[in-house]
Chains A and B, each alone.
Chain A
Amino acid sequence: MEISITINGKAVSADVEPRTLLVQFIRETAGLTGTNIGCDTSSCGACSIHLDGEAVKSCTILAAQADGGSVTTIEGLASADGTLHPMQQAFMENHGLQCGYCTPGMVMAATSLLNDIPNPSEEDVRIGLEGNLCRCTGYHNIVQAVLACANK
């Protein structure tokens, strides 16, 4: 089936199998491999992106469901001049990443979290990110990064 999704401001059209997941469309059709796949049960959140402004796990929806929608991936977050998004900068300054595999999804989920709760408590952040798993950091510095970004 023919679908078109705007990804990071650019329209991407393709003929896809109905079973194609949005994450596959992003990675394979649009060639944007910053969005990672970490599980097959929508548990880990590594594939989190923004669809029409809301954080979603791009493995939980079919590409066809996003037809006509607007997607932002991790590649679309930094400015064109190379300046990191404040959340990316906060993750770097607070050592909120180690291997970096969960990081794109975590950053996308965290930016969405701050859209919903601009001044979160530590508990808000921990609960807000519970759909995104990280195995390296123990979350301590991720939480610090999100709080630091909120307080900027």
Chain B
Amino acid sequence: MTMTHETTGVLGTRMLRKEDPALLTGEARFTADLAIPGALHLAVIRSPYARARIVSVDTSAARAHAGVRAAYSGADLADLWAGPMPCAWPVTADMKNPAHLPLAVSQANYVGDGVACVIAETAEAARDAAELVDVVYEPLEAVIDLEDAVSDRVVIHDEIGTNKSYTWDLKVEEQEGDVDAAFAAATYTVKERYIQQRLIPAAMEPRAIVAVPQPFGGDMTLYSATQIPHILKVMVALTLGIPEHQMRVIAPSVGGGFGSKLNVYAEELLCVALARKHNLPVRWTETRSEGCQATIHGRGQIQDIELAADANGRLTAVRVRLIGDMGAYLQLVTPGVPLLGAFLYAGVYELPKAYDFSCTSVFTNMTPTDAYRGAGRPEATYAIERAMDSLAATIGIDPLELRRRNFIPTDKYPYEAFTGLVYDSGNHDGAATLAAELVGYDAIRAQQKTQNVDGAKRRLGIGVSTYFEMCGLAPSRVLASLNYGAGGWEAATVRVLPTNKIQVVTGASPHGQGHETAWSMIVADKLGVAPEDVDVLHSDTAISPLGLDTYGSRSLAVGGVAIAMACDKVIDKAREIAAHQLEANPDDLEFAGGAFTVAGSPDRSMPLAAIAFEAFTAHNLPDGLEPNLEAHTTYDPPNFSWPFGTHMCVVEVDVETGEIEVLKYVAVDDCGNQVNPLIVDGQVHGGIIQGLAQALFEEAVFDSDGNLRTSTLADYLVPAASDVPSIVTGHTVTPSPTNQLGVKGVGEAGTIASTPAVINAVVDALSGLGVRNMPMPASPNTVWSVINAAQGGSQ
């Protein structure tokens, strides 16, 4: 069954973005740009200790400072919270979740944990006064190492008695004992440990918040640089005991998120609570250093993966043991991140029902972790793709050949995987073949033979990674089975105004993805109007009351499909009006090019513009039909979507300095039908560089006392243009059969695929020197040390 949408007209073109002029001219307003007269400025006093008992907090000097309205300790505000900060994903019934308040009351648990706050008439006064708050701490031993955390040698949160938040298992066997039997019978096995270092998302726009009360009108408006205005509205209402219908959340222009703005943060709750308490607007804008410490981090896992394979190199079993680093507290979806990867540790390969996954997640005295671009899926893909290279080396065959032997064959799609999930469509060999062609795979293998000789200073390597993205989050019933606290639907309204201009309301909440452009293209294609006649409204819960927001590459595959479905409903209603006016049978009307025409009678036609006006005046509508031409849809996807592809990276490694040069990067991504290839390529480029940054540059480094040593952009190496390569993009197109647009999603593909492609290339380059593994980030010093160790420390 295919329901592939025929791409006509604007759909599938490289239409320039509607968002751009406002962003290019400074007209766009980010949250910190909003002029709110009379707003007080919040400053948060943060713990300088990773773990410390709060002995006392003296705010008297701060309160006496000029311009200061109030200063509070955590204890002062404890009564304001109707509940602790929310975690929406209790992954197991017995998951431990220590109470987390916007300001700590008795114990601070990471460097950056808020312990007190000041509100003042200016940001400068607030910050100056913050320096005057006298907090007496009793420093306690901090837990930084994950295995140390597992041991419970030091328990961070007394009230839960352990550092282990949960253990979550996914064991899939046809018959009990299949995994052990497969390993016992395997011709080849590999066992590897990989470390997913912590990363700082570093969206370019720091978080910013303004809470504006209307003490007489009753409502509270929260402006926030958030990805999730709808979820935030519900959570703020619950946490502060504000009636939900009196909360309005607006996300103005939002400067990137990558998961870091997919959360409910202490400062959001503080601003709303204090705005309510003082009946004045309260605002806060994060400094970058605060952001590095107190906005969520990503990754943070120890991965032990074992593969079993038969004599042909075909996988027969996979065993995975994870330790997940939750950080000091559980944020919104912190515990669920490793689970999102749990289904992907067999990559795009056929695996019998012989899979054994277990994840134990622990608290540490570091910044809380949560979803960061890819969320669990980059980690899983890294592990399987690195382990496949290890398996290829063990067998002694080319890594690309090993992958081809294991690919799920195209003719087996839709493919029911070992987990029971059904992969919608795929053509892995097609993507790999195109990537190999674009990169010149055989030529590079040939060149390696001449270049990587004994004594060679610069060694050439090529790395391959193949992936599934698993996006379109998500079928609500599947989320229920994972104990997720919400659904996965998306809402859309399409409204044809009397003058035939179109208003679209979406529950997705873009922050760089170009939804205004893409949604306009979908509507233009469906309704036969010009994209510039479509206006997309979003990110304001008063305008778009229903929605589940933007994360997990869900917006197009769920929200975009909802737009198309709402258009279908508009067309259905318009058909009734047209049939009535044309005195024809609705079934005899054809809709094309924005007009209904009676089949076989081209002169009997009625354009949508005329129908919209008829619907508006309601002078002559069919009996019982409501006026106005609009439709609403809430779409719950029947399945995840499964974008896939192959990336290949070519590097040269200087064995004397450890420096890595990326010579070429080829990405072949198949995200199904493309609404706008310009935007697709942009998503791929950005994702690849973010993943490459994990491979080569970035790490949130904590010392043994829990101090973040990379707390500014001078210390944390977000790559610049001069650090990274150009990218060659190619695409295959395998439409998804589960939605009418045939789309899948592409927001995280680059990040998922690139990290292993880069490290595989580096290890490949150095394989002749005995190098089998490479810690991330592969800085020159690390690379040199690994080479030196592989050479027996001779260098």
**CB nearest neighbor in B for A88:** B24
- Does the CB pair B255–A36 fall under 8 Å? yes
Name the A residues within 8 Å of B20 (CB-CB): 91-92, 97, 100
The reply on A39 being an interface residue by CB < 8 A is yes
- A23 → chain B, closest Cβ, in Å? 12
A101 to B24, CA, bound (A): 9
- Does the CB pair B682–A95 fall under 8 Å? yes
- Does the CB pair A95–B678 fall under 8 Å? yes
Chain B 714-758: CB-based contact to A (< 8 A → 1; otherwise 0) = 100010111110110000000000000000000000100000000
- Does the CB pair B689–A38 fall under 8 Å? no
**CB nearest neighbor in A for B14:** A95
Name the A residues within 8 Å of B678 (CB-CB): 95
Which of the residues B204, B289, B687 comes within 8 Å of A101, measured between beta carbons? B204
- A126 → chain B, closest Cβ, in Å? 4
A131-B720, A135-B690, A136-B512 as given contacts; A99 in contact with B26, CB under 8 Å: no
A19 to B718, CA, bound (A): 28
- Does the CB pair B202–A37 fall under 8 Å? no
A40-B289, A74-B25, A88-B24 as given contacts; A137 in contact with B256, CB under 8 Å: no
Chain B 11-40: CB-based contact to A (< 8 A → 1; otherwise 0) = 000001101111111111110110100000
- Does the CB pair B712–A100 fall under 8 Å? no
The reply on B511 being an interface residue by CB < 8 A is yes
Find residues 450-507 in chain B having any chain A CB closer than 8 Å to their own CB: none
- A91 → chain B, closest Cβ, in Å? 6
The reply on B124 being an interface residue by CB < 8 A is yes
- B34 → chain A, closest Cβ, in Å? 9
Which of the residues B22, B204, B726, B750 comes within 8 Å of A102, measured between beta carbons? B204
Which of the residues B17, B254, B679, B713 comes within 8 Å of A133, measured between beta carbons? B713
Chain A 26-50: CB-based contact to B (< 8 A → 1; otherwise 0) = 0100011111111111011010000
A134 to B258, CA, bound (A): 13
Which of the residues A41, A88, A91, A141 comes within 8 Å of B713, measured between beta carbons? A41
- Does the CB pair A84–B255 fall under 8 Å? no
Name the A residues within 8 Å of B205 (CB-CB): 36, 38, 99, 101
- A19 → chain B, closest Cβ, in Å? 8
Name the A residues within 8 Å of B202 (CB-CB): 135
- Does the CB pair B682–A133 fall under 8 Å? no
Which of the residues A33, A37, A107, A139 comes within 8 Å of B24, measured between beta carbons? A107
- Does the CB pair B19–A37 fall under 8 Å? no
Name the A residues within 8 Å of B254 (CB-CB): 99
A94 to B547, CA, bound (A): 31
- Does the CB pair A78–B203 fall under 8 Å? no
A100 to B30, CA, bound (A): 10
- Does the CB pair B726–A17 fall under 8 Å? no
The reply on A71 being an interface residue by CB < 8 A is no
- Does the CB pair B720–A122 fall under 8 Å? no
Which of the residues B26, B679, B689, B721 comes within 8 Å of A129, measured between beta carbons? B721
A50 to B193, CA, bound (A): 50
A84-B21, A130-B721 as given contacts; A95 in contact with B681, CB under 8 Å: yes
Name the A residues within 8 Å of B289 (CB-CB): 40
Find residues 115-152 in chain A having any chain B CB closer than 8 Å to their own CB: 122, 125-127, 129-143
Most B-side CB within 10 Å, residue of A27, A101, A130? A101
A117 to B425, CA, bound (A): 48
- B375 → chain A, closest Cβ, in Å? 16
Name the B residues within 8 Å of A137 (CB-CB): 682, 685-686
The reply on A98 being an interface residue by CB < 8 A is yes
- Does the CB pair B682–A141 fall under 8 Å? yes
Name the A residues within 8 Å of B288 (CB-CB): 38-41, 44
Find residues 64-107 in chain A having any chain B CB closer than 8 Å to their own CB: 73-75, 77-78, 84, 88, 91-93, 95, 97-104, 107
- Does the CB pair B204–A95 fall under 8 Å? no
- B285 → chain A, closest Cβ, in Å? 8
**CB nearest neighbor in A for B716:** A43
The reply on B253 being an interface residue by CB < 8 A is yes
- Does the CB pair A98–B33 fall under 8 Å? no
A78 to B689, CA, bound (A): 30
- Does the CB pair B690–A138 fall under 8 Å? yes
A134 to B681, CA, bound (A): 16
A77 to B750, CA, bound (A): 33
Name the B residues within 8 Å of A36 (CB-CB): 30, 204-205, 255
We find that the number of chain B residues with CB closer than 8 angstroms to chain A is: 57
**CB nearest neighbor in A for B678:** A95
- A57 → chain B, closest Cβ, in Å? 12
Which of the residues B513, B681, B721 comes within 8 Å of A143, measured between beta carbons? B721
Most A-side CB within 10 Å, residue of B21, B686, B721? B721
Name the A residues within 8 Å of B287 (CB-CB): 40
- A149 → chain B, closest Cβ, in Å? 13
- Does the CB pair B687–A134 fall under 8 Å? no
A27 to B205, CA, bound (A): 15
A44-B713, A46-B204, A99-B255 as given contacts; A31 in contact with B25, CB under 8 Å: no
The reply on B206 being an interface residue by CB < 8 A is yes
The reply on B631 being an interface residue by CB < 8 A is no
Chain B 560-584: CB-based contact to A (< 8 A → 1; otherwise 0) = 0000000000000000000000000
- Does the CB pair A135–B686 fall under 8 Å? yes
A140 to B685, CA, bound (A): 7
- Does the CB pair A101–B30 fall under 8 Å? yes
A134 to B288, CA, bound (A): 14
- Does the CB pair A122–B714 fall under 8 Å? no
Name the B residues within 8 Å of A134 (CB-CB): 204, 721
**CB nearest neighbor in A for B285:** A37
Which of the residues B16, B23, B256, B721 comes within 8 Å of A142, measured between beta carbons? B721
Which of the residues A73, A97, A133, A138 comes within 8 Å of B688, measured between beta carbons? A138
A36 to B206, CA, bound (A): 10
**CB nearest neighbor in B for A73:** B26
- B536 → chain A, closest Cβ, in Å? 16
Name the B residues within 8 Å of A138 (CB-CB): 685-690, 724, 727, 750
A31 to B721, CA, bound (A): 30
Q: Which residues of A contact B (CB under 8 A)?
A: 17, 19, 27, 31-41, 43-44, 46, 73-75, 77-78, 84, 88, 91-93, 95, 97-104, 107, 122, 125-127, 129-143
> What would 14 more interface pairs be, CB under 8 Å, given A33-B29, A77-B25, A91-B24?
A32-B26, A37-B32, A40-B289, A74-B25, A98-B686, A99-B254, A99-B512, A103-B24, A125-B721, A136-B512, A136-B682, A138-B686, A138-B724, A141-B682
A to B CB contacts below 8 Å, 11 in the list: A27-B33, A32-B26, A33-B33, A37-B32, A78-B25, A97-B23, A99-B204, A99-B205, A107-B24, A135-B202, A135-B686
Q: Which 9 residue pairs across A and B have the least CB separation, nearest first?
A: A34-B26, A101-B255, A100-B23, A99-B512, A138-B689, A33-B33, A43-B713, A98-B512, A138-B685
